[in-house]
Structure 1
Amino acid sequence: MQKYSNKGAYLKFFTYAVVVILINVVGVTLFFRSDLTANRIYSLSQASKDAVKTLSEPLTIKVFFTKNLPAPHNSTERYLHDLFEAYAAAGGDRFNYTFYDVTADESGLTDQSNSNKKLAQDYGISPVQIRIIENDEMKFQQAYMGLVIIHGDMMEKIPAITSTDGVEYLLTTAIQKLNNKVSAFMALKEKVKIRFYLSSSLEKVAPLMGLDQLPLLPRAVEELAKKMNLESLDNIDYAFVDPREDKTLNDLAAKYDLMVMKWPDVPQQGIKAGSGGAGIVMEYRDRVRVTPVITSVNLPIIGTTYQMADPAGLETILSDTMETMIGINENLGYLADHGTPTLSPGGMMPGQPRSNMNAFNQLLSKRYSIVPVSLKEKNIPEGLKTLIIAKPTENFSDYELFQIDQALMRGTNIAFFLDAFKEIMPRQSMGMGGAPQYVPLNTGLEKLLKHYGITIEPAYVLDESCYKQQRPSAQGGGEQNIYFAPIIKDGSINRSLAFMNNIKGLITMQISPIMVDQDKLKQNALVATRLFSSSEKSWTMADRIDLNPMFMSPPTQTSEMKARDLAYMVSGEFSSYFAGKPLPAKPAEEKELSPEKESPSAATETAPNENNTTAPGAEKDALVAKIETRNAVITKGKPGKIFVMGCASMLQDNMLDPQGQSTNAAFILNVIDHLNDQDNIAVLRSKNQTFNPLAETTPMIRGIIKLFNIAGLPILIVISGFVVLLKRRGRKRKIKLMFQEN
């Protein structure tokens, strides 16, 4: 009988153990990870890699996070660790990060966590309240979940990171902003002037106005100015001014629109009649911004109340205002006349009307410096990358259209958010209101767009795929279809473009269809890309517009239903609308003349020349008329892009969220980024979109899937059991036959 040896088994075990150890050593030294998610949300985007690779000096991130948080917040901390490892791998030695354990009070504080908590408070990071569920009981806990980014003497903070959605976008844009700050502050040729005007006379009446802390405000603003000066590389010139004389106060009020208050004698308090003003004025070259420090609010029943600006809030307002003034971000033009809605920048002048596009302005201001463009006062600035024209309601002269056309020829991209109708609200009479009227708009931009091959139809798109509103119980409850608010589903969105790749749903309102002239586009070698359209069950309302949902219903003729194109991006070398046409004349400025000055002027113009000689200036005018000018019109432009959508309501506050998390906000910002050649940022922003609707299916397919889940899976299990049983029986037979043969 052969003697069995264990040497071979021991040798195999030892070899396998050595191989396992070596594989682990290799895994530690050579980091490798594969991201199998659809949008590679756990991999660093190219924009993030570029941001850390171009750091001019070391950048440090301090993360303050409470340990042992319940799900889902514990995964957020793990995600941050992995994300910063990827940043560090791309940024090298210039990217550093540190996690600080800041345990909440109820969990017990150690000396180290106490020190970390104080450090977090010094950086302006405060705890947030999170909801946890333990032992079938819901509780609330205070937790630190913020970070600060330090680049030289400058700092950006993200006070709360409660989820992983959009974290990479926030970090990368903050790093880019710090890089831009360094370059902008080093390029400043003069300092930014900040003047804090506060009349000392206000100290006596401040307690009566409920402003007991007003005397402490100058010290707080001075400390804030010192901090901003340190972060801006000593580029701030700050001074406190006490305007005591009425003349000085009135001059300042007229120049800067400062808030001025006057009060009568108050004998009971020993206060004499007087006046005073307050406000913070920031100036850089010809740019001026005013930030009010006292605001008045008229409340029902209570009356007028006064509020003082919070110093902590002033820091954010003044920093944002300064960044806009010195141009840290890339300039973005916005047409500020012809009836377009007002954007409310930081430091809005007192008395300006409230805008319904605050969210749009807030989202844009995070990435761009908004430059108001007034065609009635001056031309479109040279070198402007993109101009936004949103909801104009006044006519454009040919000269103003010429300015827009030539800006496009020079390479300025233009985003048109236009309405086909102007809503006119009826006058209130005897307490009775009426339905609004919708008058077709014809501002002159229509002929410009038609020349480029784009036409916005004077109609509204109605769609069975629309927003549904809950009816009040008094009207029977249920849902009311708002047909004029189409919901754009995934199948109707063109996601072939990079900036549209992860936009899977939109909601619009009062949107008009767009038609393209393919012959004209082909003739000018332009490319028109449809971005999204309505569903196949949509129709249009033209001529008589009535948007009362109670009187709307789909058409009886199904032939009227079809998909309508709703947004286009057109690119290429545009041809000028004014090619071969006379140069438009600039409208003469209207000047009001007094009756005394009007008559002599008229007499001078009509009086005959006694000596029958040429009137003064006539020879000059005749010479100017004979001069021929060549190349006054750019007939063929540089490569450019225009975006056209017949819906300006998509920019309103009820359609966008200030945080930019909705698909509507992501779409609008991605379009602007695409026009500014920032597709990498657009891709980064939208890759974390959490809106993933299920694909549309027919009732039959849904029934088949349901039947398979109910009956199909159990049948498959039974069949699998029979197959296993048959295999076992077959194996038994083979073994039995083997022993019978032996």
Structure 2
Amino acid sequence: MKKPFFANTLKATGSLIGLVALLAIVFATNIILSKVNLRADLTEERLYSFSDGTKELLSKLDREITMKFFFSSSISEAPVQYKNFGRQIEDLLMEYRLAAKGKIKIEVYDPTPDSDAEEWAQKYGLAGQPLGMIGPTLYCGLVGISGDIEVVMPALSPGREGQIEYDITRMIAQVGVAKAPVLGVLSTLPVFGSLQQSPQMPPQQSMNPWFSFADLRKDYDVRTLEPDTDLIPSEIDSLIIVHPKDLPENTLYAIDQFLLRGGKILAFMDPFCLVDALTAQQQPYGTPNASSNMEQLLSAWGVTFDSVQVIADMDASTSVYGKDNKVEQNPVWLSLRKENIDSDDIVTSEIGSLLMAMTGTFSVEPDNRLTVTPLVRTSENSAPINLMSVQFGADAIKRDFKSSYKEHTLALRLHGNFKSAFPDKAPDNEENSATVHLSESLNPGAVILVGDVDMLFDQFCVQESNFMGFRAFQPLNDNITFFANAVEQISGSETLIGIRSRGTTQRPFTRVLKLQKQAQLKWLEEERQLENKLNDLRVRLNSLQQTEKDHSQRFKLSPEQEQENKTIPRRRN
């Protein structure tokens, strides 16, 4: 009788031991797997995957960096979008910590009211956003610290969700650099407000610096270069070229060698620079050519710039004052919108509008050594026209316009290994190591080319006003933002150039929007057909009305008119 009892007891004991063993296995497996970095980004937009540029930068970190994230996570009144964005930033920072393999330390603070964390947030200069009139203050800012170097992003905005990887990686690059980037500026125009005087020329009125260049010295170590320079110093990291008109061969060679040493270039050229033409009108010794190009260099890069024609785009016409001071829609003054701008590139992802006038276009021959990225382009309803046609005004341009039915590139970026435009040229002083001739790139270089100079001039990008005795400027478009983004990219780490714009967590109903657009187009087509039929019927009735009839019957419809009139309601339905 006791045998079943011992059997059941043994069975229960075995089950208990098996359960304990299973739990031990699960616990041990969990410990082992916690030490293994098995992670996968399953989001369609790759929200938690780094670009190659970020990976390269993190792999080369040689100093420890502390990232302090201040986020008001405990405030219940905060908007849901704000909370989701904060959690996304925190998750992304943890990805940075893992990818940096111990070089980056992440600290997260919740700056509740009157707390030490809020006090530190205020000391770092983070921008808090009050919630209502008497509500708490929301914080979402980031501080990067390494040694005595400190970089602050006062406020992270959900509006920059697509660029957040670039912003954080740029901060890491800035924290890791102990000095400001050295930026060279070579211009034939007085962008810093100083005119070159010639002994043969009468004295000219001084000019203020262009607004787009006025603040460069706050963020960069700026070195100005003469247009006839024959050497670009090695300490210059990046170079801005404005209106390279009639540059001598020695200067072009210096630019060529600078690029081959791994330099980065931002160049603005123009088929007809209005600023240059306006300046020339003030000179009594004739009007020089207002176009600029670097044909010899561009040819070596596989690029052609049309410096004898300007682009006209009927879909981007701008309202300007024409002849007799009348407002006209001019297609060579381009008001470019989102559809003309690369929304996936960091330089242009936040650009909503650009104003470019008398702009030239670029064409590129395929070259597997270089990566070509068009940044700004026209619509397909565009075509190049000669400068003579422009002088006759907008009406003449429209009358003779014939679309090319293709897009034209107005700005682009080249990145990769370049070849020299002077393969057989040797420096004048071969003993000087700084001028050792290079026939191809030592390190990958980058060039951003823009087909308009005037877009940087004040009248084309900002509106000036006087506020309490001070000059104040209000942006008219995103020209300044485009310039600042481009300068920032060429002056930053090489790895920043390859960072893409990230996807967003906002998922629009693309299929519904597509169906709505198709339905709208169909409805517009049907409406157009009905309007055409109605207009035809009206013409026919008017024609019948004009036929001769008895004077006493002029207020009566003829049989033909009555028949046509009966068809109108039926055809309009």
TM over 0.5: yes
Q: Give yes or no for the alignment of 1:387 onto 2:242.
A: no
Q: Give yes or no for the alignment of 1:341 onto 2:156.
A: no
Residue 91 of structure 1 deviates from its aligned partner by 3.5
Q: Counterpart of 1:161 in 2: which secondary structure?
A: coil
Residue 507 of structure 1 deviates from its aligned partner by 3.6
| Structure 1 unmatched ranges of 5 or more | 1-10, 105-112, 133-137, 182-327, 345-350, 430-436, 586-631, 708-742
Cα deviation 1:283-335 (Å, max 9, x = unaligned): xxxxxxxxxxxxxxxxxxxxxxxxxxxxxxxxxxxxxxxxxxxxx24433221
Residues 655 and 120 of structure 1: is their aligned pair in 2 closer, same or farther, counting only changes over 3 Å? same
- 2:334 aligned to 481, 485, 508, which one? 485
Residue 651 of structure 1 deviates from its aligned partner by 4.3
Q: Give yes or no for the alignment of 1:357 onto 2:212.
A: yes
Q: Which residue number corresponds to residue 84 of structure 1?
A: 93
1:374 partner letter: E
Q: Give yes or no for the alignment of 1:59 onto 2:66.
A: yes
Cα deviation 1:363-417 (Å, max 9, x = unaligned): xx75x64432234567311364542212345x43444344334545655454321
Cα deviation 1:117-142 (Å, max 9, x = unaligned): 33333333453335x6xxxxx99763
- 1:180 and 1:340 map into 2 onto residues whose CA distance is 31
Aligned positions of 1:656-695 closer than 5 A: 678=493, 680-684=495-499, 686-687=501-502
Cα deviation 1:530-578 (Å, max 9, x = unaligned): 6254222102342336589864763456455543343455665534459
Q: Which residue number corresponds to residue 291 of structure 1?
A: none
**TM-score (normalised: structure 1):** 0.48
Residues 548 and 37 of structure 1: is their aligned pair in 2 closer, same or farther, counting only changes over 3 Å? farther
Give the conservation status (yes or no) of the 8 Å contact 1:386–1:413. yes
Q: Which residue number corresponds to residue 272 of structure 2?
A: 421
Q: Which residue number corresponds to residue 74 of structure 1?
A: 83
Residue 489 of structure 1 deviates from its aligned partner by 6.0
Q: Which residue number corresponds to residue 118 of structure 1?
A: 119
Q: Which residue number corresponds to residue 3 of structure 2?
A: none
- 2:168 aligned to 168, 171, 176, which one? 171
Give the conservation status (yes or no) of the 8 Å contact 1:48–1:87. no
Cα deviation 1:696-736 (Å, max 9, x = unaligned): 989994458889xxxxxxxxxxxxxxxxxxxxxxxxxxxxx
Give the conservation status (yes or no) of the 8 Å contact 1:469–1:481. yes
- 2:95 and 2:449 map into 1 onto residues whose CA distance is 38
| Structure 2 unmatched ranges of 5 or more | 1-14, 195-205, 430-434, 463-472, 525-573
Give the conservation status (yes or no) of the 8 Å contact 2:173–2:493. no
- 1:682 and 1:178 map into 2 onto residues whose CA distance is 18
1:98 partner letter: E
Q: Counterpart of 1:74 in 2: which secondary structure?
A: helix
Residue 159 of structure 1 deviates from its aligned partner by 2.2
Residues 468 and 70 of structure 1: is their aligned pair in 2 closer, same or farther, counting only changes over 3 Å? farther
Residues 676 and 375 of structure 1: is their aligned pair in 2 closer, same or farther, counting only changes over 3 Å? same
1:574 partner letter: K
Residue 341 of structure 1 deviates from its aligned partner by 1.8
Aligned positions of 1:148-547 closer than 5 A: 148-163=143-158, 165=161, 166-181=163-178, 328-335=179-186, 337-339=187-189, 341-342=191-192, 353-358=208-213, 361=216, 369-376=221-228, 379-382=231-234, 384-392=236-244, 395-408=246-259, 412-423=263-274, 424-425=277-278, 440-442=289-291, 445-446=294-295, 449=298, 454-466=304-316, 484-485=333-334, 487=336, 507-510=354-357, 512-514=359-361, 529=372, 531=374, 533-544=377-388, 546=390
Residue 528 of structure 1 deviates from its aligned partner by 8.3
- 2:456 and 2:293 map into 1 onto residues whose CA distance is 22
Residue 152 of structure 1 deviates from its aligned partner by 3.0
Give the conservation status (yes or no) of the 8 Å contact 1:666–1:686. no
Q: Counterpart of 1:180 in 2: which secondary structure?
A: coil
**TM-score (normalised: structure 2):** 0.59
1:357 partner letter: S
Higher relative contact order (CA 8 A, sep 6+): 2
Give the conservation status (yes or no) of the 8 Å contact 2:232–2:258. yes
- 1:464 and 1:706 map into 2 onto residues whose CA distance is 25
Cα deviation 1:614-657 (Å, max 9, x = unaligned): xxxxxxxxxxxxxxxxxx9948444665443321244457659x
2:225 partner letter: V
Q: Counterpart of 2:233 in 1: which secondary structure?
A: coil
Q: Give yes or no for the alignment of 1:146 onto 2:141.
A: yes
1:129 partner letter: P
Q: Counterpart of 2:398 in 1: which secondary structure?
A: coil
- 1:438 and 1:67 map into 2 onto residues whose CA distance is 67
Q: Which residue number corresponds to residue 574 of structure 1?
A: 419
Cα deviation 1:160-180 (Å, max 9, x = unaligned): 234363444333322222222
Residue 95 of structure 1 deviates from its aligned partner by 3.3
Residue 692 of structure 1 deviates from its aligned partner by 11
Residues 409 and 697 of structure 1: is their aligned pair in 2 closer, same or farther, counting only changes over 3 Å? same
Residues 123 and 567 of structure 1: is their aligned pair in 2 closer, same or farther, counting only changes over 3 Å? closer
Give the conservation status (yes or no) of the 8 Å contact 2:164–2:502. no
Q: Counterpart of 2:499 in 1: which secondary structure?
A: helix
How many residues are treated as equivalent by the alignment?
A: 454
- 2:504 and 2:453 map into 1 onto residues whose CA distance is 23
Q: Which residue number corresponds to residue 297 of structure 1?
A: none
- 1:526 and 1:162 map into 2 onto residues whose CA distance is 37
Residues 52 and 665 of structure 1: is their aligned pair in 2 closer, same or farther, counting only changes over 3 Å? farther
- 1:646 aligned to 412, 435, 451, which one? 451
Give the conservation status (yes or no) of the 8 Å contact 2:71–2:108. yes
Give the conservation status (yes or no) of the 8 Å contact 1:487–1:507. yes
Give the conservation status (yes or no) of the 8 Å contact 2:271–2:360. no
Q: Give yes or no for the alignment of 1:98 onto 2:125.
A: no
Give the conservation status (yes or no) of the 8 Å contact 1:480–1:549. no
Q: Which residue number corresponds to residue 570 of structure 2?
A: none
